[in-house]
C-alpha cells in the first residue's frame, strides 16, 4: 500500500522516522516506546488471571511471572513503534511519539524490543514454566508479525483478529500459576476479544481522517461510519453477557455476576445510542466507558476472588 505525502511539512515530520536518526532521548521517551498505558492494562488482566487461578500463592514465582509479562508487553510495544514509525508520522495522534519525533532511532527501538522479548520469554521458561513462556512468545509474535506487519495495513478486520494478542495475558497469568489451560481463563480471553472491536472502532470513528491519511484500512475508512456503528453494536451485544462467564463457570459469586450483567447492559446501551445518534460525542462516550468497563469488570473479579474465600469461612464459622 503506497502512502502519499501531501505537503512539505508532512514530509519533514516523516523524515526522522524514515532516516532512523535520533537527536535527543530522555528516559520518558524510552518508557513511551513501550506503550505504558497498554502495558498497564496487560499487567492488570494478567494479575487477575494469576489471582483467580486455583494454586497456592508463590510470591517469587508470581513476581517473576508478572515481571516477564510486563517485559513482553513492553517488547511488543517497542517493536510495534519500530515498524509503524512511517505511518505514526502521518497521524496527529501518534506524530509526537519518540521515533517520528526524531528522539529515538528506529534501530534503537528494534534492539530494545528484541532484547526485551528474548529476556521475557527466557525468564518465564527458566523460572516459571514452559507453557507460559510459549504463550508469551506466541503473543508477542502474533502482535508484531501478524497484526502489526500484516493485518493492520491490509484488512479492516485488523482489530478483530489482531485483538487476540491483547486478550491472552489473563491466560498467561493463569498458566504461570497452574501450568495448564482451563475454561476459566479462556472466558476472560473471550471477554477481551469481544471488547476490542467496539473499543477501537469507537476511537476510529472520530479519527477516521488520520487513518485514511496514513493508509490504514480501519473499518470507518473502508466500510463507512454507518457499517462501523452497526458492527460496534453487534460486538457490544455479544460482549454484554460474556462478562458473566466467570460466574457461570463457578469462578465468581453472584454479586460479581449481577455486576457484570449491569456493566454489560451499560456498554450495550451506549453502543445502541451511538448507532442512533452518529456523533463524535457518542463515539467518545462509548470509547471512554469501554475502558472503565473492562477495568471495573476485572477489578470486580479480582475482589471477588479475594473476598469469596473469606466470606465462605465466615459463613462456615457461624
The answer to whether 216 touches 87, Cβ cutoff 8 Å, is: yes
Does the structure show a pLDDT above 60 at 17? no
The answer to whether 221 touches 205, Cβ cutoff 8 Å, is: no
- According to the model, what pLDDT value does residue 8 have? 41
- pLDDT band of 10, cuts 50, 70, 90: very low
Instruction: Give the whole-angstrom CA distance, residue 70 versus residue 106.
Output: 21
- pLDDT band of 121, cuts 50, 70, 90: very high
Collapsing DSSP to helix, strand or coil, 53 comes out as coil
Q: Which three cell numbers mark 184?
A: 476459566
- According to the model, what pLDDT value does residue 307 have? 73
> pTM of this prediction?
0.89
- According to the model, what pLDDT value does residue 305 have? 83
- According to the model, what pLDDT value does residue 21 have? 54
- According to the model, what pLDDT value does residue 308 have? 58
- According to the model, what pLDDT value does residue 208 have? 93
Does the structure show a pLDDT above 50 at 97? yes
Of residues 9 and 155, more confidence is placed in 155
Mean pLDDT of all residues belonging to the chain: 90
- According to the model, what pLDDT value does residue 49 have? 96
Instruction: Give the whole-angstrom CA distance, residue 7 versus residue 217.
Output: 22
Identify the CA nearest to 31 among candidates 151, 122, 112, 118: 112
pLDDT tens per residue across span 271-292:
999 999 889 999 999 999 999 9
Identify the CA nearest to 270 among candidates 237, 227, 244: 237
Amino acid at each position: 500500500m503506497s502512502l502519499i505525502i501531501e505537503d512539505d511539512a508532512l514530509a519533514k515530520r516523516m523524515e526522522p522516522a524514515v532516516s532512523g536518526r535520533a537527536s535527543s532521548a530522555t528516559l520518558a521517551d524510552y518508557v513511551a516506546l513501550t506503550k505504558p498505558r497498554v502495558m498497564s492494562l496487560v499487567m492488570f488482566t494478567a494479575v487477575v488471571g494469576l489471582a483467580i487461578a486455583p494454586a497456592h500463592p508463590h510470591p517469587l514465582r508470581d513476581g517473576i511471572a508478572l515481571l516477564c509479562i510486563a517485559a513482553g508487553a513492553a517488547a511488543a510495544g517497542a517493536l510495534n513503534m519500530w515498524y509503524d514509525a512511517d505511518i505514526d508520522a502521518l497521524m496527529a495522534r501518534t506524530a509526537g511519539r519518540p521515533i517520528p519525533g526524531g528522539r529515538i532511532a528506529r534501530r534503537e527501538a528494534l534492539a530494545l524490543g528484541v532484547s526485551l522479548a528474548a529476556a521475557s520469554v527466557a525468564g518465564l521458561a527458566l523460572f516459571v514454566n514452559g507453557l507460559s513462556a510459549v504463550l508469551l512468545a506466541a503473543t508477542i509474535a502474533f502482535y508484531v508479525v501478524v497484526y502489526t506487519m500484516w493485518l493492520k495495513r491490509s484488512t479492516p478486520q485488523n482489530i478483530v483478529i489482531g485483538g487476540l494478542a491483547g486478550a491472552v495475558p489473563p491466560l498467561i497469568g493463569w498458566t504461570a500459576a497452574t501450568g495448564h489451560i482451563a475454561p476459566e481463563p479462556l472466558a476472560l480471553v473471550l471477554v477481551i476479544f469481544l471488547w476490542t472491536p467496539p473499543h477501537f472502532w469507537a476511537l476510529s470513528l472520530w479519527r477516521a481522517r488520520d487513518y485514511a491519511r496514513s493508509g490504514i484500512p480501519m473499518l470507518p475508512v473502508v466500510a463507512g461510519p454507518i457499517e462501523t456503528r452497526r458492527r460496534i453494536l453487534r460486538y457490544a451485544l455479544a460482549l454484554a453477557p460474556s462478562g458473566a462467564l466467570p460466574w457461570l463457570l463457578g469462578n465468581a459469586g453472584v454479586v460479581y455476576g449481577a455486576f457484570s450483567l449491569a456493566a454489560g447492559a451499560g456498554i450495550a446501551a451506549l453502543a445502541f445510542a451511538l448507532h442512533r445518534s452518529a456523533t463524535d460525542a457518542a463515539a467518545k462516550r462509548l470509547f471512554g466507558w469501554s475502558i472503565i468497563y473492562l477495568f471495573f469488570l476485572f477489578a470486580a473479579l479480582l475482589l471477588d476472588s479475594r473476598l469469596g474465600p473469606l466470606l465462605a469461612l465466615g459463613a462456615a464459622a457461624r
